[in-house]
Amino acid sequence: MLASALLVGALVSALAVDAGREANSVVSRLIGVAEAAEPKARKQGYVWSATRSSSDLRLRGYVPSEDVRGTVLGMAKANVPDLEVEDRMHVSPGAPAIDQWLGAVSFGLQQLSHLKQGSARLLNVGLRIEGEAGNAQDFAEVQTALNGALPTGLSIIADNIRPPKVDPFVFVASLSPDTLALVGSVPNERARKRLRDLSRQLFERSTLDDRLQLASGAPKNWNDAVTASLKALSRLDSGKISLSGLAVTIEGIAPDKGTAAAVASQLRRDLPSMFSPTEKISWKEANFIR
């Protein structure tokens, strides 16, 4: 009898140990599953994005709660009221301070309202933004915002905002007795500075009137074409050069017939081969129209 009791006790103890091990194994597996399912937001940073096209605004990434989702959707519709908003955001913990995060989201959406197409992406409260501005004024406003005071905590990781594309790409320089006026489009601020410096070297005028606006869409070798055109214009007493796409027109008054012919020849020689020149140059003694 005693031996039987001892045997039963041993079996019960063994079963209890096995049950405990199985329970621990189950708990371990559950913990593993939970860790595997832990939001990427905790491991890779809190990611959110908005992408704008001509017809819609697509929202992706994480939001801290359903209430905050509603706030973000309200911001989106306020900034781009004419676009359909597609919401594929997921609720996930791990967000930065809510006020800072919402400030960063709001700032990104405000910049997208000035773009024809583009995207704003947040990693925690670091912003990457890219796209094409709707027009010259929109481009200027985005540049002012990106270079000005940012919302608390927000940093700009990267920005690639392009000026609006224009077609044809037009540049005009008009020469009068006391002023050189530059109007039309210029591809970037470096090109603007180079043109201003070149103009001051070539023209002895008291006033340089720069009304150029930034735009994308300049033809290949545009800088060389403008340089050749300004050099030709500098030999006239007054006149104008116009670049519209690949077409170049120079018109004005030369001091004499020889200069008129030389300017026309110089422009044809110096222009890149894909540009087509037209000359309408007269001189003081007589009229000469080519």
* Residue closest to 61 by CA, chosen among 110, 94, 24: 94
- From the list 175, 186, 166, the residue with the least C-alpha distance to 226 is 186
User: Counting beta carbons within 10 angstroms of the beta carbon of residue 166, is it exposed (0 to 12), middle (13 to 18) or buried (19 or more)?
Assistant: middle
Q: Indicate whether 32 pLDDT > 80.
A: no
In-domain check, residue 29:
no
CB atoms within 10 A of CB 242: 18
Are residues 185 and 112 located together in one domain of the fold? no
pLDDT band of residue 287 (cuts 50, 70, 90) is: low
Q: Is residue 124 part of a domain?
A: yes
Give per-residue pLDDT as tens, 182-227: 999 999 999 999 999 999 999 987 799 999 999 999 999 999 999 9
Same domain as 49, residue 146: yes
Can you tell me whether residue 111 is helix, strand or coil? helix
Q: Would the pTM of this model clear 0.75, i.e. be above it? A: no
Instruction: Please state which of the ranges 6-15, 17-26, 69-78, 134-143 shows the lowest mean pLDDT.
Output: 6-15
Overall number of domains in the chain = 2
By DSSP bridging, strand 115-123 and strand 84-91 are unpaired
Model pLDDT for residues 142-172, shown as the tens digit of each residue: 999 999 999 999 999 999 999 999 999 999 9
User: Each residue of 226-260: pLDDT tens digit?
Assistant: 999 999 999 999 999 999 999 999 999 999 999 99
CATH number at residue 193: 3.40.1520.20
State whether 122 and 50 are in the same domain. Answer: yes
First-to-last C-alpha distance (Å) of the chain: 130
Q: Would residue 279 count as lying in a domain?
A: yes
- What is the model's pLDDT at position 21? 52
- One domain, residues 152 and 179: no
- Structural domain that includes position 233: 170-283
- pLDDT in the model for residue 64: 97
Same domain, 146 and 53: yes
Structure tokens at 127: 């912003």
Instruction: Match 């997208």 to its residue by tokens.
Output: 112
Burial 125-152 (b: 16+ CB within 10 A, else e): bbbbbebbbbebebbebbbebeeeebbe
268 and 174 assigned to the same domain: yes
